[in-house]
């Protein structure tokens, strides 16, 4: 049985009826990258799966990340070779299964002097990296998307690309390759759509209010439909708590369970109105040391990555987070302090608060740190808790991904555990090679060529590239809808058909769902007012919004800049 995710009145009602009337093998609570991959993996193994998300899919940490697929080179300094191998494999998995939504990108690391930070030492690290990851490109069909070998760059080449580094007297640089997620919310949506196509019931804006636990057995959860107001008891043999940073607090408020003690880090990255001529990521050293490094090349690095062609994404700034995950905010002093760190690492940038267009901030599992510490120990592994083993509750599993890159592996491992409980044995996971929705392509270039050759709708070149990246092999669904709903949103080249598709097939329910996640038109800066008004009008026509509702949607969307928090209120705290 297959289901297409649909938000239309009949579609959502049918999904909610399925939640109420069916019994599931697995209920996944949480629609970030870890939960999405768990639902997809379970559905591909033939298990009957439901997934519910409190707000919108990928509205929290999975969207607010640095948008990188880390291959693990820094774990060489920790001598953590298993983690290096895991990270390399997971980077390759996403490059394989989501080729339209990911890409390889070069990272430049300046070198200095003749010691640990020298060209020869970095070259030796590159040699070790090559020896440790000979299979890094296994299964990647498009060779243009493969991870090339690292190489060394001369001082002259470095300063041609990044002239502002001259005053720090580098001797040159090393260049290695990693992965970048073009659009994290759409990547999560593609995984969820693949799960739905495999039979999973996938619904957003359904809050798990309370786990159902009786006599030491978890049997699902009571769900509150935040759009319709109803409550539903979802029955499941195994429940997976994949609520990310909310997982400990969620357990703590559920009768019969106790909170899991997991330290949290608030990780922040900013999008700024600056752009380097180079399309490379630049790594620059900060003032903070890495206490976990066994072989240290110096202090930790910040990374400055090209983002959406005209911006730069800079991260990551971390601090110990001890407040409620439901009340995450970012203050102006925090952002200003991060800008000081950036300006200190790359003198001459002169960034100010006025340069900051978007603040990305999310919560991740952390190492054990004093809250006042500056040299921080980061989390090493994803968190998986079998509550039967820890507190005698059968059928309950908690999983928290250590970072975006490891979300697929987390899903794989929690489903292994769930399947063992259900069937007594474990079948093979296929999510490291089965394409996500839209991912069954030879290359992104071939999809773009097919779109250009199509005679149904004449798309501009930016539209061709965006449609190929967002929809991959499913691009014709947008092309077909564009024949019925021609035209673009005012002040932009975004198609009315893209908005219609998000509402009819991708469970978008709010203006923020469309602007920030389905179309990603707002991940660099807030779109023009005319575009927001136009989008709200299209959505209002489709969903029956009156003028007051459109006004509320516009107000909420505007207030999400520069930071969109994890709850229904979006704000930047000024003091």
- pLDDT tens for residues 122-159? 999 999 999 999 999 998 888 888 999 999 999 999 99
Where does the pLDDT of residue 298 fall: very low under 50, low under 70, confident under 90, or very high at 90 and above? low
Asked if the structure places residue 219 within a domain, the reply is: yes
Asked if the structure places residue 66 within a domain, the reply is: no
Residues 6 or more apart in contact with residue 287 via CB below 8 angstroms? 299, 341, 344, 345, 374
Region 411-429 average pLDDT: 97
Asked if the structure places residue 109 within a domain, the reply is: no
Give, to the nearest 10 degrees, the angle between helix 407-423 and helix 33-44: 40
Where does the pLDDT of residue 9 fall: very low under 50, low under 70, confident under 90, or very high at 90 and above? very low
Looking at the structure of the chain, the number of domains it has is: 1
Residues 6 or more apart in contact with residue 215 via CB below 8 angstroms? none
Asked if the structure places residue 492 within a domain, the reply is: no
CATH classification of the domain holding 32? 3.50.50.60
Instruction: For 326-348, write each residue's pLDDT tens digit.
Output: 999 999 999 999 999 999 999 88
Instruction: For 213-258, write each residue's pLDDT tens digit.
Output: 999 999 999 999 999 999 999 999 999 999 999 998 889 887 778 7
Instruction: For 345-368, write each residue's pLDDT tens digit.
Output: 998 889 999 999 999 999 998 665
pLDDT for position 275 = 87
- Rounded to whole angstroms, the Cα distance separating 502 from 348 reads 42
pLDDT for position 49 = 98
Residue 113: helix, strand or coil by DSSP?
Answer: coil
Give, to the nearest 10 degrees, the angle between helix 407-423 and helix 81-97: 90
Which range marks the domain in which residue 219 is found? 9-61+185-261+382-423
Region 402-416 average pLDDT: 96
Most confident of 137-141, 206-210, 252-256, 489-493: 489-493
- Torsion angle of the four alpha carbons 386, 389, 395, 401, in this order, in degrees rounded to the nearest 10: 0
∠ CA 250-255-259, rounded to 5°: 40
pLDDT for position 425 = 96
Residues 6 or more apart in contact with residue 548 via CB below 8 angstroms? none
Residue 111: helix, strand or coil by DSSP?
Answer: strand
Asked if the structure places residue 481 within a domain, the reply is: no
Look at the chain and count its residues.
Answer: 575
- Rounded to whole angstroms, the Cα distance separating 257 from 56 reads 26
Q: Which residue has the higher pLDDT, 387 or 288?
A: 387
Instruction: For 150-177, write each residue's pLDDT tens digit.
Output: 999 999 999 999 988 887 889 999 999 9
Contacts 24+ apart (CB under 8 A), 255-260: 255/210, 255/211, 255/213, 256/211, 256/213, 256/214, 256/393, 257/211, 257/213, 257/387, 257/391, 257/393, 257/396, 258/391, 260/383, 260/385, 260/398
Asked if the structure places residue 428 within a domain, the reply is: no
Q: Is the pLDDT of residue 499 over 70?
A: yes
Query: What residues pair up with 400 in beta bridges, in sequence order?
Result: 383
Asked if the structure places residue 197 within a domain, the reply is: yes
Region 396-417 average pLDDT: 96
* The two structure tokens encoding residue 233: 């008891």
Q: Is the pLDDT of residue 569 over 90?
A: no
Cβ proximity of 3 and 196 under 8 Å: yes
Which residue from 542, 418, 557 is spatially nearest to 56, judged by alpha carbons? 557
Least confident among 202-211, 296-305, 397-406 = 296-305
Cα atoms in the 13 Å half-sphere on the side-chain side of 241: 31
Give me the phi and psi of 222, to 5 degrees please. Answer: -90, 130
Instruction: For 55-85, write each residue's pLDDT tens digit.
Output: 999 999 999 999 999 998 888 887 888 899 9
Asked if the structure places residue 408 within a domain, the reply is: yes
């Amino acid at each position: 049985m297959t289901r297409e995710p649909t938000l239309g009145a009949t579609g959502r009602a049918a999904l909610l009826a399925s939640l109420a009337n069916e019994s599931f093998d697995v209920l996944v609570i949480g629609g970030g990258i870890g939960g999405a991959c768990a639902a997809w993996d379970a559905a591909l193994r033939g298990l009957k799966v439901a997934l519910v998300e409190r707000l919108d899919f990928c509205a929290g940490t999975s969207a607010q990340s640095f948008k990188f697929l880390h291959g693990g080179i820094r774990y060489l300094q920790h001598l953590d070779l298993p983690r290096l191998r895991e990270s390399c494999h997971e980077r390759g998995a996403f490059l394989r299964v989501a080729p339209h939504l990911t890409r390889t990108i070069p990272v430049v690391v300046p070198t200095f002097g003749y010691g640990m930070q020298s060209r020869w030492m970095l070259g030796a690290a590159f040699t070790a990296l090559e020896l440790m990851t000979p299979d890094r490109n296994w299964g990647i069909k498009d060779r243009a998307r493969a991870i090339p070998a690292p190489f060394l760059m001369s001082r002259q080449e470095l300063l041609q690309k990044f002239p502002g580094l001259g005053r720090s007297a580098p001797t040159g640089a090393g260049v290695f390759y990693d992965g970048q997620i073009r659009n994290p919310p759409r990547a999560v949506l593609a995984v969820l759509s693949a799960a739905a196509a495999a039979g999973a019931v996938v619904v957003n804006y359904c809050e798990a209010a309370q786990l159902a636990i009786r006599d030491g057995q978890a049997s699902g959860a009571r769900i509150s439909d935040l759009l319709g107001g109803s409550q539903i008891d979802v029955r499941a043999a195994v429940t997976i708590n994949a609520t990310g940073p909310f997982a400990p607090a969620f357990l703590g408020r559920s009768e019969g369970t106790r909170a899991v003690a997991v330290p949290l880090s608030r990780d922040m990255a900013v999008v700024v109105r600056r752009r380097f001529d180079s399309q490379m990521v630049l790594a620059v050293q900060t003032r903070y040391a890495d206490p976990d490094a066994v072989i240290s090349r110096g202090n930790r690095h910040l990374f400055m990555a090209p983002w959406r062609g005209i911006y730069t994404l800079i991260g990551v700034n971390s601090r110990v987070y001890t407040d409620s995950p439901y009340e995450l905010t970012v203050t102006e002093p925090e952002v200003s302090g991060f800008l000081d760190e950036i300006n200190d690492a790359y003198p001459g940038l002169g960034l100010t608060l006025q340069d900051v267009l978007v603040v990305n901030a999310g919560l991740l599992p952390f190492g054990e740190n004093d809250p006042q510490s500056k040299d921080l120990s980061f989390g090493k592994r994803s968190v998986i808790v079998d509550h039967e083993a820890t507190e005698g509750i059968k059928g309950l599993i908690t999983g928290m991904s250590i970072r975006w890159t490891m979300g697929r592996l987390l899903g794989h491992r929690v489903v292994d555990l769930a399947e063992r409980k259900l069937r007594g044995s474990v079948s093979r996971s296929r999510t490291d090679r089965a394409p996500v929705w839209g991912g069954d392509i030879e290359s992104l270039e071939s999809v773009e060529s097919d779109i250009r050759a199509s005679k149904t709708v004449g798309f501009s070149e930016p539209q061709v590239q965006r449609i190929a990246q967002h929809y991959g092999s499913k691009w014709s669904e947008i092309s077909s809808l564009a024949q019925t709903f021609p035209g673009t949103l005012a002040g932009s080249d975004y198609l009315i058909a893209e908005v219609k598709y998000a509402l009819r097939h991708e469970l978008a329910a709010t203006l923020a769902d469309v602007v920030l996640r389905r179309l990603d038109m707002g991940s660099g800066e807030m779109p023009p007012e005319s575009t927001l008004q136009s989008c709200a009008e299209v959505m209002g026509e489709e969903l029956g919004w009156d003028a007051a509702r459109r006004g509320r949607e516009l107000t909420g969307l505007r207030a999400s800049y520069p930071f969109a928090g994890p709850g229904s209120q979006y704000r930047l705290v000024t003091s």
